[in-house]
């Protein structure tokens, strides 16, 4: 990536992510009436090889949602298999989950978290971004050559539901042109 974040930009971006991820956690907490804890946002620039290497766990499900607007990219939700039944019960799903209801649950969770994260993030920066509907994502089926960005700014945070062993991670991936837009907007906020 041509431009690296300065320490000041990284701190500002982490604070913006903290606020938007907090909004997402609050939205899910209200829905399931359970306490949610968040990790500190992690920000890094990665190559396609590193990005796909992040997505190799067998104990999780993945969803992805693209977004367009002043900033473009994808939101990948990484949802744990542990505690999924407990979350399903909290969200009024009947057990045992069929494959269809499991997919519905995963897509609903991803949409709640990703939607609130991206909306809060874009709103704070006064940037418009429209999120598509989530789809189930099988990263093992994706080859590096199919990944469309040479490098990506990754912003990630982990959500843990205290009433179960369920946790998830939301990863916002920005394409390089959007990173430049983000940096310019951050710089204006810092001046």
Distance between terminal CA atoms of the chain? 24
Is the pLDDT higher at 191 or at 161?
161
The overall pTM is greater than 0.85: yes
What are the structural domains of the chain?
7-190 (3.40.1550.10)
Query: Is residue 139 scored above 90 in pLDDT?
Result: no
DSSP SS3 for 49:
helix
pLDDT at 111: 92
pLDDT in tens, 70-117: 988 889 999 999 889 999 999 999 999 999 999 999 999 999 988 888
Q: What is the mean pLDDT of residues 138-165?
A: 77
Query: Is residue 19 scored above 80 in pLDDT?
Result: yes
Question: Which of the listed ranges 54-68, 89-103, 121-135 does the model predict with the highest average pLDDT?
Answer: 89-103
Beta-strand ranges (E) seen in 16-143 are 36-38, 42-46, 60-69, 73-80, 129-131, 135-137
Q: What is the mean pLDDT of residues 157-182?
A: 86
- The dihedral over CA atoms of 49, 4, 168, 123, expressed in degrees to the nearest 10, equals -130
How large a percentage of the chain has pLDDT more than 90?
A: 26
């Amino acid at each position: 990536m041509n431009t690296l974040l300065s320490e000041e930009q990284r701190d500002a971006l982490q604070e913006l992510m903290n606020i938007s991820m907090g909004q997402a956690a609050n939205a899910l907490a209200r829905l399931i009436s359970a306490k949610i804890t968040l990790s500190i946002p992690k920000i890094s620039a990665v190559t396609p090889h590193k990005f796909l290497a992040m997505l190799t766990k067998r104990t999780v499900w993945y969803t992805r949602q693209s977004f367009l607007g002043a900033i473009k990219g994808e939101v990948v939700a990484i949802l744990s298999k542990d505690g999924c039944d407990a979350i399903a019960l909290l969200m009024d799903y009947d057990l045992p989950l069929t494959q269809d209801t499991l997919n519905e649950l995963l897509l609903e969770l991803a949409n709640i978290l990703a939607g609130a994260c991206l909306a809060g993030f874009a709103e704070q920066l006064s940037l418009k971004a429209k999120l598509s509907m989530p789809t189930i994502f099988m990263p093992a089926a994706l080859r590096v050559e199919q990944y469309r960005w040479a490098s990506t700014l990754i912003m990630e945070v982990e959500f843990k539901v205290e009433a179960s062993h369920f946790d998830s991670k939301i990863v916002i991936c920005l394409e390089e042109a959007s990173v430049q837009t983000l940096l310019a907007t951050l710089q204006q906020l810092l001046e």
